[in-house]
Structure 1
């Protein structure tokens, strides 16, 4: 690693679960000429120690570690310029607000937070301090999504009247939200906040508009105790050490994944957190099947559906305009094999069998009075959310210019969050919700 110099920004990471790994690697490997990782903070020392072991494996020095209670002291002692927040969603606001009030900038994982009071705290702190808060909406950096924005902005389909957006999580990826802390709405806000916040942000960005009115329906259909009526329920609480989980395709076996074993199984003694809960056990307070209708300030409407128990993974987005239609279809996996059902996507697989066949993507423009045509998209890869993670890191940490306006601010984070929060309230009350009744975002 290059020696520390005034030209390199000093970063601290708070929250050292698996979500931190992409950011850590970007700092110490890809952008070490401009960025310096100087500290970790967490409630769990074992997880920080695991990250430091990975740093030494990469040939980088270990960094000081701090208990989360010592976060404020860390900022001064380590002369931190920017804080990376990758903690459990419900605690994001604690670290964001403390950092900006101490004069630091922040990059936070999505969602920015999980409810209206926490969101208001963040926006007030940003307004009062002038600090920069960036939300890591990496989906904006996917070349496919950039091509959608460019096509719409160029007026290829004219004024946009409506959007239909369907997102499918397969029984490998979708199940993972129901075995970890996300299964509790208090931690994650539910999938319409934690997961769909990505999608709501994309639509805000694509339409260059803001949500005004939201109606939603949803339920827990597949996971949790509902699994009993579908024939999937097994009598165990967590996988490790449970004979009943032996042949369960939904079981995540932490001991078989070296990094997950270090981060979670070997860290349980400190905080009692079980990363491998039974997805059909009681205690799930979020939905797995959700339908949302949104009206935007531009006049456009969106129908959105999220399914977390599909046999394949991907999404479809269709825009209807005054001059035609734009269609994006992405198949990220075509099916899940039994051997892969309990495995995780990406690097955490560590040799486990993935879906037998990977899918593809098409972006189709269908103008009036002319044949449809495919829009070619360059730069998309199979790794890191279609190459988006690396592209985002180049802007956030590498100093790359952002002429496409992909960097998301605290305002953007709030607007994406408010669509999900309004949808949650609508599901609870059965009524449509005016976004401005929750929070006004300037």
Structure 2
């Protein structure tokens, strides 16, 4: 094989995590010829971009990747991102210029959700593989644009789903995959966001549906992806309800932002951003450039997303799922129950009266987001109850840091062990990204129309009884 052929094979095989095509299938994960580092650029220099896909990659994988460009429309955040990440690359306000001057192998997209499609499509068009933060995008038209581009330009798209990679989620997959409770017939899945983390979405840009697509898309895409992966099937139809009853215009008082609010002493949701140096350096010090306020009032009248959500999802394999998302729970956690022909599996994390937690809710969130080895190592139970038998408790090793250990394992798969075979198929590509957001988009449309919405009516992807 010539050097040119080897080089071409390298560039086509750096799909890294799980590109796959819109028709399904995951190509071999292989860095190929290692005659130079992977050239990477980042567009969108917010918290997630500069930390998880920025500084952590620089710190952990500098032997295999090289940041060659950063792009954002806020010059202050760009300057901060360059220093915080510890890179020496050029910074850009124009995406096309960055690509033309650096010819990167991989574009990482961490902009606001409604703009993901712009950089995904353009990145593919300009000959790059693309890794995007979840969600893939925010509506079915943009989703179709991405599907068309991925087919047209023969490049790879990776979606950064980290929850699949936590040991606890993986153990659930293993139990289901091994037919522990037979054919799955129904699922109850409840996710609880607390008044610290849940409220934070409503003070950020996520509170505007035109930017974040509502939490049906931005947050629940994680949960729907887990369901699709656990059940190994595609969603077929969604019926949903939702409303905005606590945040937004539902309060009798409001301020400009938490820093200068007249109601600091009486608002239980008050958040003092001045005590967080990173938030000050990244956002507050750069408000002058784009007007983005990180500590906006939770009760501003322009908030137009839902704060309570419930959906019923029918899968192509006839599994029925009841799902709910609460954004103002006293605690943050989740619980799920799978009903099968041979029994039932129950699982939950971070339910305080199950775990006798001593940490506050903001401390728990900080540990989850920490990219180090945060939190004590311990085990969490999964209950397996077979028909006509007593229940069994399966203990699963667990730590809070990096989304339950999923962050580290996801990045190790991308940058350290791309060729390792994964018996649980945790790699997520374009079809996975599309199917997860289409549930949320269908739920949003069902609320607005009062009717069930079929997934096949949203894009040209046809739901399958068994995922590929």
TM above 0.5, yes or no, is yes
Distance 1:343 1:383, change over 3 A: closer
| Matching of residue 48 in structure 1 with residue 94 in structure 2 | no
| Matching of residue 141 in structure 1 with residue 159 in structure 2 | no
CA distance in structure 2 between the aligned counterparts of 1:66 and 1:148, rounded to whole angstroms: 43
| Matching of residue 409 in structure 1 with residue 429 in structure 2 | yes
Residue among 195, 200, 214 paired with 1:190: 214
Distance 1:45 1:402, change over 3 A: farther
**Cα deviations by residue, 1:383-439 (Å, 9 ceiling, x for unpaired):** 010010011111122234251211111111000010000000000011111111112
Structure 1 stretch 96-105 or stretch 217-226: which is displaced more? 217-226
SS in structure 1 opposite 2:202? coil
Aligned to 2:110: 86
Q: Alpha-carbon deviation of 1:11?
A: 0.9
Aligned to 1:231: none
1:12-27 paired onto structure 2 within 5 Å = 12-20=41-49, 21-27=51-57
SS in structure 2 opposite 1:308? strand
Unaligned runs of 5+ in 2: 1-33, 371-375, 463-468
Distance 1:74 1:344, change over 3 A: farther
CA distance in structure 2 between the aligned counterparts of 1:95 and 1:106, rounded to whole angstroms: 9
Q: Alpha-carbon deviation of 1:440?
A: 2.6
Distance 1:312 1:191, change over 3 A: same
Q: Alpha-carbon deviation of 1:144?
A: 0.8
CA distance in structure 2 between the aligned counterparts of 1:246 and 1:344, rounded to whole angstroms: 24
CA distance in structure 1 between the aligned counterparts of 2:213 and 2:378, rounded to whole angstroms: 30
Residue among 281, 286, 289 paired with 1:270: 289
Aligned to 2:131: 107
1:294-309 paired onto structure 2 within 5 Å = 294-309=313-328
Q: CA RMSD in A?
A: 2.4
**Cα deviations by residue, 1:19-58 (Å, 9 ceiling, x for unpaired):** 11111123211111211122110010111111222234xx
Distance 1:241 1:358, change over 3 A: farther
| Matching of residue 395 in structure 1 with residue 413 in structure 2 | yes
Distance 1:9 1:349, change over 3 A: closer
SS in structure 2 opposite 1:194? coil
Structure 1 stretch 253-262 or stretch 89-98: which is displaced more? 253-262
SS in structure 1 opposite 2:404? coil
How many equivalent pairs are there?
A: 419
Contact conserved, 1:239 with 1:253, CA < 8 A, in 2? yes
Distance 1:134 1:412, change over 3 A: same
1:206-355 paired onto structure 2 within 5 Å = 206-228=230-252, 234-331=253-350, 345-346=365-366
Contact conserved, 1:160 with 1:322, CA < 8 A, in 2? yes
CA distance in structure 1 between the aligned counterparts of 2:438 and 2:336, rounded to whole angstroms: 21
Contact conserved, 2:368 with 2:402, CA < 8 A, in 1? no
**Cα deviations by residue, 1:96-119 (Å, 9 ceiling, x for unpaired):** 000011110111010000001100
**Cα deviations by residue, 1:117-169 (Å, 9 ceiling, x for unpaired):** 10000000001112111111111111111111111011001001001000000
Unaligned runs of 5+ in 1: 229-233, 351-356
Structure 1 stretch 112-121 or stretch 397-406: which is displaced more? 397-406
CA distance in structure 1 between the aligned counterparts of 2:78 and 2:366, rounded to whole angstroms: 21
SS in structure 2 opposite 1:278? coil
Contact conserved, 2:110 with 2:133, CA < 8 A, in 1? yes
CA distance in structure 2 between the aligned counterparts of 1:279 and 1:55, rounded to whole angstroms: 30
Distance 1:317 1:162, change over 3 A: same
User: TM-score normalized by structure 1?
Assistant: 0.90
SS in structure 1 opposite 2:97? helix
Distance 1:343 1:246, change over 3 A: farther
Distance 1:316 1:285, change over 3 A: same
Contact conserved, 1:101 with 1:129, CA < 8 A, in 2? yes
CA distance in structure 2 between the aligned counterparts of 1:346 and 1:223, rounded to whole angstroms: 23
**Over 6 Å off, 4+ runs:** 339-344, 347-350, 357-360
1:367-382 paired onto structure 2 within 5 Å = 367-378=386-397, 380-382=398-400
Residue among 373, 376, 386 paired with 2:404: 386
Q: Alpha-carbon deviation of 1:348?
A: 11
CA distance in structure 2 between the aligned counterparts of 1:340 and 1:269, rounded to whole angstroms: 34
